[in-house]
Chain A
Amino acid sequence: MAGYAAKVRGDIARWREAGLIDAATADALTRDVGANERASLSFGSILAMMAALLFGAAILIFVAANWEVIPRLARVAALFAVILGGYVGGAFSKTRDHAAIGEALWIVAAAAFGGSIALIGQMYHLSGDEASALLTWCAGTALAAVALRSNPLTVTSVGIADAWLFLKWGGFFRRAEFPYFFAAVALVLFATSFWTRSQAARHLIILSILFYLALLAIDRNTLEVAIPLVLVSALLFAAAIFAAEPVDRIVQLGGRLPLHALIGFLAGLAMVQFELADEVSYSSGFAIASAAALAGIVAAIMLGGRESRGLRWVAYAGFAFELAIIYGVMLQSMLGTAGFFLSAAVLLGILALIIIRIEKRMRAPAGGGAAA
């Protein structure tokens, strides 16, 4: 972020004046900050991206309207022109140092590709499902991302793949085959994201895979999905904490792998808890899962909480969820409505107290935190 870089530059100037560092060091530090300053999302580039998305939506709706005033061959030709013009024009802008406009034009071209698929489907009344059209669109966008090494296009293709997954899955009462193919798509896009240097795409893919596993758990045997998810997440968390640098050099997630692993861990345990909630009176599975979740949350805060504010808040959210579900399953039957409000108040109080205490500790300097 620009704000961070500016702040560090200010700090460097102050240290230099205070005599903490010499001029050469100050210079080197300033240069390093400048070199590593992330190409930040400026207001202008956000607007350009929003304009591109609106333009893309306009193309898709224009196709859907099936407007007869323009002959359809002319519509096809117009979309083809947008595809070619968008990609080539975007490449020109990019080489002329207008990166944001270039990426935005590429998004428009990718939308025109999707619009063309829809238009052809409409022209020839292809009823083969929307899902396969989306998959073709996703493949075309991923190809564009690879060819142009574009971060936004990679994220877009992940988004289209997610839409495909959801459409193909088709709700609780569908008859279609489960979209196992998504796993392969996610893998290919994950590999692509390294080439296109798209950390954002990797984050989105990991969350999408968790979504996919949740759907799989609904569809198939919950425990067969959830327990491996919990174990793998725990292992990944351990790897990401104890071998932080080598692991992050491989996955390049900006040090946020523990966050994803914790989300995966808690999601897996939540699946187990939902599955076993009905058996709570005669089986200890629910209690074990709840205990594991609480222990995992505590361990996550102790091991990774200091470095990552995001991790702490995921842990708090997980803790709040655990309080709610444990209360819901264990005590629900014993208490009436008044009892519900009373216990909700008590649980929220406990939650607030714990968050305040942990946040205070985490803010204290490292030495003091260890001693306390």
Chain B
Amino acid sequence: MSGKRLIIAALVLGLVQIGFLSWIIAGRAAILRNGKEVLLKVEPVDPRDLLRGDYISINNSISRIPVKLIANIPAGKFTSNDTSIVVRLKKGADGYWQPTTAWFGKAPAPAGPDEADIAGRVADGWGLREPDATIAPEYGIDRFYLPEGEGMAIQSDMRVRPFGIKLALSANGTAQIKALMDGDKTLFEEPLY
């Protein structure tokens, strides 16, 4: 490859990679800016990711969805497929949002004014037959990354009093964590960028 072409190739390559990364950032910032806000109750699990550092792993109030709530399980189906799921949330009296209904695939009707839909993914093999069974969809919101060293303190606080996460939900249900709440107090509010 001649010298000039190599340098042009390198330049284009760098710009393509940066463009790709910026596109992810822009998409996430758009959800934060325009998404519908919901508040979920959370409890901690355990920390640290090799590449991205300290985080608290959180179980929120929609981490497990009772099978009863799923409105469109086909008759005679015993276990789940690997599929998308939509969970409809409704604001409770205490300000925290709770799941009301869920559907595999897409929701049949848009969410009402005090409701919001969150999209997730279900792995295959969850049992659907037992009346009190639950499934655990993945929403991509079960971690909150913290500055180095702050994970443990917050995690032990979370064991003694209720914490919450504020989410922003895009129109198609993609969830983006917006803030970590200690009761009514905002601990970390995410800037757009």
Contacts and interface: CB of A to CB of B under 8 A. Distances in A.
A346 interface: no
A278 interface: no
Nearest to A137: B51
Contacts of A147: 9-10, 12-13
A25 interface: no
A73 B148 contact: no
A116 B19 CA distance: 12
Interface string A64-85: 1111100011001000100110
Contacts of A140: 17, 20
B147 A72 contact: no
Contacts of A120: 21, 24-25, 28
Nearest to B16: A143
A87 interface: yes
B7 A88 contact: yes
A126 interface: yes
A143 B21 CA distance: 14
B77 interface: no
B141 interface: yes
A117 B140 CA distance: 15
A12 interface: no
Contact of A124 (B16, B50, B146, B176): B176
A90 B10 contact: yes
A125 B28 CA distance: 10
A147 B20 CA distance: 16
Contact of B51 (A67, A86, A130, A148): A130
A212 B54 CA distance: 31
Contacts, number: 126
Contacts of B153: none
A64 B49 CA distance: 8
Contacts of A94: 6
Nearest to B25: A120
B143 A149 contact: no
Contacts of B144: 125
A171 to B, nearest CB: 15
Nearest to A175: B123
Contacts of A368: none
Contacts of A73: 193
Nearest to B82: A177
Contacts of B13: 87, 143-144, 147-148
Interface in A93-109: 94-95, 109
Nearest to A113: B17
Interface string A120-142: 11111111101001000000100
B21 A126 contact: no
Nearest to B2: A95
A91 B1 CA distance: 11
A63 B7 CA distance: 28
B39 to A, nearest CB: 15
B82 to A, nearest CB: 8
Contacts of A64: 49-53
B15 interface: yes
Interface string A170-192: 00000101000000000000000
B157 interface: no
A88 B14 contact: yes
B67 to A, nearest CB: 18
Interface in A35-93: 60, 63-68, 72-73, 76, 80, 83-84, 86-88, 90-92
A117 B7 contact: no
Central interface residue in A64, A65, A83, by most chain B CB within 10 Å: A64
Contact of B21 (A72, A80, A128): A80
A60 B52 CA distance: 8
A63 B147 CA distance: 10
Contact of A67 (B6, B49, B147): B147
A226 B9 CA distance: 43
B96 interface: no
B103 interface: no
Contact of B15 (A66, A72, A84, A118): A84
Contacts of B160: none
B55 to A, nearest CB: 8
A84 B3 contact: no
A91 to B, nearest CB: 4
A233 to B, nearest CB: 33
Contacts of B20: 140
18 contacts: A65-B148, A66-B145, A66-B147, A67-B148, A68-B147, A72-B193, A80-B21, A84-B11, A87-B14, A88-B10, A91-B11, A123-B145, A127-B140, A127-B141, A130-B50, A147-B9, A148-B10, A175-B123
Given A126-B143, A127-B142, A133-B51, 17 more contacts: A65-B53, A65-B148, A66-B146, A67-B148, A76-B21, A83-B18, A84-B14, A87-B13, A92-B7, A116-B21, A125-B143, A125-B145, A125-B176, A126-B28, A127-B140, A149-B1, A177-B123
Which 8 A/B pairs are nearest by Cβ-Cβ distance?
A: A95-B3, A91-B10, A64-B53, A127-B143, A84-B14, A87-B10, A118-B51, A87-B14
